[in-house]
């Protein structure tokens, strides 16, 4: 067994995935602990308030960075061996990210009256205002961490991601276990971003990735051009993970949002495990398409269909069991068992698409940011339509159905666009060269 493990870990991609799975374990554990702390020491309403603020923060963060990190990810991988070009590319992106972070943070901070009108709650609006402070540094951190991802320094990527999650958990725990008003809990995002930015800059400086920093008009324009094409896709991608919470928040009570988000939080673990595989696949896909190395690309898809689907199915079963233990024996009086059907629907939907989900950024990674936006937009539109139709009659179950159907629709669009733009039939895993020969 030890020899087999050593053989598996001798391959860089496998080692990278192992490190990022470790990061996922930290994320999953911190997310579960954070929600349990809020549920145990506060109540379902407080959990709903926090998750609505978190949803707005995630979506606002995508507006803040405006897709520049996608450009940095692609060109860090593309110019991995050209330090001078990579330096001016990164320096230009850092300047843009700082300016955009300051702008986005200020706008969201001043929008408190708007959110109070939308959600009808001063507590929610105040929580969002404190969350806005995290946006000041979020774009910078996305650029720095995307550089680390593009260079395939996945150990550092995993450690920095874990540091962010643990910092948020620690800050929320302090609020939960003290007499501090709970609407201050979203300040945890700002604390986490400060620590992450310091650590990321220190790592890149030590790795020599900051030694050739510079500014270039070409990269300023190119980042904005590439990023603007991909930004809507990124916005919709994060909207898709929190859209159900926001729609519930505008239509139902904070308590019902808290009950639903307690179950949805567990499904976040599935989404993040797929995202972890995706961030490892992205640099490999960039190189594979650039070099027309289709055997590498098809091998990744073949393994994903087989192992990722099985892994998500097993993980879903474990999540269901853990949820039953929590709602039956740990917090039985909080009413979270009402979300059981929603959890079943969400887990079923993600298991269905699991094998293809690590390829969600395929179009962006291969130089097609606008088609990537079309794909993520399709998920959002189906999600919104289904949620608005089903939530009034089915409540939180309607939100779960809308989310699951949205992701299935997104998969269908990905299969169509990957075939039309790349010639890759992902359903049968037939690459362009094979199809052309036939």
pLDDT over 70, % of the chain: 91
Averaged pLDDT, 147-175:
88
Q: Which residue has the higher pLDDT, 14 or 121?
A: 121
Q: Taking a C-beta distance cutoff of 8 angstroms, is the pair 45, 254 a contact? A: yes
Averaged pLDDT, 315-331:
88
Averaged pLDDT, 118-136:
92
Segment among 86-95, 153-162, 223-232, 345-354 with least mean pLDDT: 223-232
Q: Which residue has the higher pLDDT, 55 or 80?
A: 55
pLDDT given at position 352: 92
pLDDT given at position 253: 82
Averaged pLDDT, 380-398:
91
Round the average pLDDT of the chain to a whole number and report it.
85
pLDDT given at position 101: 95
Query: Is the whole model's pTM more than 0.85, yes or no?
Result: no
What one-character-per-residue DSSP string does 259-314 give? Answer: HHHHHHHHHHHHHHHHHHHHHHHHHHHHHHHHTT-HHHHHHHHHHIIIIIHHHHHH
If 0-12 CB within 10 Å is exposed, 13-18 middle and 19+ buried, where does residue 320 land? middle
pLDDT given at position 201: 94
Beta bridge partners of 425: 430
pLDDT given at position 433: 62
- The predicted-structure confidence for 20-39, as pLDDT tens digits, reads as follows 667 767 777 787 788 888 88
Residues ≥6 apart with Cβ < 8 Å to 36: 326, 330, 331
Q: Taking a C-beta distance cutoff of 8 angstroms, is the pair 82, 209 a contact? A: no
pLDDT band for position 172 (cuts 50, 70, 90) = very high
What's phi and psi for 226, nearest 5 deg?
-65, -45
Segment among 12-26, 216-230, 369-383 with least mean pLDDT: 12-26
Residues ≥6 apart with Cβ < 8 Å to 325: none
pLDDT given at position 70: 83
Q: Which residue has the higher pLDDT, 117 or 209?
A: 117
- The predicted-structure confidence for 273-294, as pLDDT tens digits, reads as follows 787 778 777 777 877 877 888 8
Total H helices, total E strands in the chain: 19, 0
Averaged pLDDT, 115-136:
92
Residue 227 has pLDDT above 90, yes or no: no
- The predicted-structure confidence for 405-437, as pLDDT tens digits, reads as follows 999 999 999 999 999 988 899 899 888 864 443
């Amino acid at each position: 067994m030890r020899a087999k493990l050593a053989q598996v870990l001798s391959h860089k991609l496998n080692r990278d995935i192992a490190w990022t799975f470790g990061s996922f374990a930290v994320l999953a554990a911190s997310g579960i602990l954070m929600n349990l702390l809020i549920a145990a020491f506060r109540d379902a309403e407080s959990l709903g308030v926090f998750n609505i603020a978190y949803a707005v923060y995630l979506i606002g963060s995508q507006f803040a960075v405006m897709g520049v990190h996608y450009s940095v990810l692609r060109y860090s991988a593309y110019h991995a061996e050209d330090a001078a070009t990579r330096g001016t590319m990164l320096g230009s992106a850092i300047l843009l990210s700082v300016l955009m972070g300051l702008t986005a943070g200020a706008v969201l901070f001043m929008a408190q009256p708007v959110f109070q009108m939308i959600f009808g709650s001063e507590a929610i609006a105040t929580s969002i205002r404190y969350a806005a402070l995290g946006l000041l540094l979020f774009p910078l951190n996305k650029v720095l961490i995307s550089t680390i991802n593009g260079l395939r320094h996945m150990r550092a990527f995993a450690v920095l991601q874990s540091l962010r999650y643990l910092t948020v958990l620690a800050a929320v725990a302090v609020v939960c276990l003290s007499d501090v008003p709970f609407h201050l809990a979203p300040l945890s995002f700002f604390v986490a971003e400060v620590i992450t930015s310091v650590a990321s800059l220190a790592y890149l400086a030590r790795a020599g990735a900051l030694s050739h920093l510079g500014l270039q008009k070409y990269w300023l324009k190119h980042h904005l051009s590439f990023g603007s094409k991909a930004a809507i896709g990124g916005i919709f991608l994060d909207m898709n993970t929190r859209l159900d919470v926001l729609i519930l928040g505008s239509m139902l009570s904070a308590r019902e949002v808290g009950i639903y988000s307690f179950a949805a939080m567990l499904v976040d673990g599935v989404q993040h495990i797929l995202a972890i595989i995706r961030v490892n696949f992205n640099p490999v896909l960039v190189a594979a398409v650039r070099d027309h190395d289709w055997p590498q690309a098809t091998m990744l898809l073949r393994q994903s269909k087989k192992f990722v689907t099985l892994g998500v199915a097993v993980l879903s079963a474990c999540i269901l069991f853990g949820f039953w233990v929590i709602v039956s024996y740990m917090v039985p009086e909080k009413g979270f068992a009402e979300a059981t059907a929603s959890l079943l629907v969400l887990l079923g939907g993600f298991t269905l698409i699991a094998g293809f989900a690590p390829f969600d950024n395929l179009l962006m990674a291969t130089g097609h940011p606008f088609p990537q936006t079309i794909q993520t937009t399709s998920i959002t539109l189906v999600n919104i339509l289904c949620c608005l139709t089903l939530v009034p009659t089915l409540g939180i179950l309607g939100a779960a159905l809308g989310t699951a159907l949205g992701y299935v629709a997104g998969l269908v669009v990905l299969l169509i666009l990957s075939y039309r733009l790349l010639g890759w039939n992902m359903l049968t895993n037939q690459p362009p060269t094979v199809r052309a020969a036939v």
